[in-house]
Amino acid sequence: MTETEKTLVKDSWSLIAGEKDLGDVGLIMFNKLFQDNSSLRSLYSFLRDDNVNDDVNGKLRSHGKGVMEVVDIAVSSIDDLRGLHPIVVDLGCRHYKYGVQKSHLQPVGKSLIYSLETSIGAGFNKDMRRSWLKFFAVLSISFSEGLDKGQHLVENDG
């Protein structure tokens, strides 16, 4: 990533982290994810057999906040992508056991971008969008490596 792209990611994130409730931003992301990809809802054990509306679901809100806190860590580490890599690999490795697949990354990325656009509003421009897409692509490579590592560990443990 270029320095300009990193700055755009950091500057746009500061509009969220400093002014928005991360739980609300996380809910926007997950509502979009499930609206566009309802089958992914089954990956979240805390949502199974739950008739609570997602907008008021405390478990989903809490998870969404946690995801946004991870995004916050990633953005804070954007100037050290090599240092961030093992953290994201570990995250991918842990998510393998939940049934996460590489094919899920594209819809998650799309939903994340949507949550950023929605939360920031008109100030979220095409350059910010492009920079976030590139950042998510970098993170996805590391996360995918972690999924592969998780699969390898499961296959060689059993």
Confidence of residue 44 (pLDDT cuts 50, 70, 90): confident
For helices 105-120 and 3-17, what crossing angle results, to 10°? 60
Encoded tokens for 41: 């809802």
Helix (H, G, I), strand (E, B) or coil at 143: helix
CA–CA separation, 5 and 11 (whole Å): 10
Q: Can you give the pLDDT at residue 35?
A: 92
Shortest CA distance to 119 belongs to which of 41, 44, 64, 53? 64
Q: Which domains does the chain have, with CATH numbers?
A: 3-157 (1.10.490.10)
Confidence of residue 54 (pLDDT cuts 50, 70, 90): low
pLDDT of 86 over the 90 cut: yes
CA–CA separation, 53 and 134 (whole Å): 33
